Homo-oligomer: A and B are copies of this chain.
Amino acid sequence: MQVATTIAEIRAWVRKTHAAGKTVGFVPTMGALHVGHVSLMQAAAERCDSVVVSIFVNPTQFGPGEDFEKYPRPFEKDLAICAQHGVDAVFAPSRGEMYPRENLTWVTVEKVSEPLCGRFRPGHFRGVATVCMKLFNIVGADAAFFGQKDAQQVAVIQRMVADLNMPLEIVVCPTVREPDGLAVSSRNQYLSPQARKEAPVIYRSLQRSAELIRGGETAVARIAEQMWEILGQVPALQVEYVSLVDAGSLEDLPQVRGKVLVAVAGRLGSTRLIDNIVVDATAK
């Protein structure tokens, strides 16, 4: 497995791989790799001849007071996970390699970036779109793989790639869950044992929304109300939002129709958790 820390190295590696007639799948990560990331590596290996994983904790997507400093960085363990799952190259740049000067250029995706997490993390999706643009340009992969768990990130990246005619495919992979339903996340390790026990309430609220929609409920307000009731069973959970939006545009839905993204975010102690499901209201 090649470990590249400079842009020149990873570009040379990809150029050589392409010259050999192989396609390149790309999994951008912030490290602290878990089974969710492994599922992305596997999807990339299924679709592409070779797999590149990037490991970079991107400062421009963290707001002031967020967990940039304490974000886990178990680099050696991450490399071992990559090697174990057949990754061909890891791109692990320093901050100075990615941002050698004041960054003046930003990619913003209007509307799609604004609801849901956008209201609670101003600038976050601008940072995500910009670093993904940089990574896509650096790696030059044929396809990039993202997890559905970060639904709004996926929607922002998909819109960016479409609007800017970027020459790569975005592949979205299902959320990987713990046996009790909690969506796997690098931030789950911050949870206290008590909080860890309570965290699956978020997924239970999402499951309830799916039951209601499949049962024919179309009033968004009534679905959200029942979700809030379930979430209220864990008083320690400070809910940021419970939203039902159009799964493509992320626009508010007064009535359930088409593919609905049901999304929840909240804080349990100091840990911010997000989760979502997509329910097809037409397929009852």
Q: Which residues of A contact B (CB under 8 A)?
A: 7, 11, 101, 103-112, 129-130, 133-134, 137-138, 140, 159-160, 162-167
Residues on B with C-beta less than 8 A from A159 are 104-105
The one of B101, B110, B138 that contacts A106, using a Cβ cutoff of 8 Å: B110
The answer to whether B108 touches A105 (Cβ under 8 A) is: yes
CB-CB < 8 A to A105: which residues of B? 107-110, 129, 159-160, 163-164
List, sorted by A's number, 14 A–B pairs whose CB atoms are closer than 8 Å: A11-B167, A103-B163, A104-B109, A104-B110, A104-B112, A105-B159, A105-B163, A106-B107, A106-B110, A107-B107, A107-B164, A130-B164, A134-B163, A138-B167
Residues of B within 8 A of A110 (CB): 104-106
- Rounded to whole angstroms, the CA-CA distance of A104 and B107 in the bound complex is 10
Contacts A106-B110, A108-B108, A138-B165 supplied; 5 other A-B pairs, CB < 8 Å: A104-B111, A104-B163, A105-B129, A105-B160, A134-B164
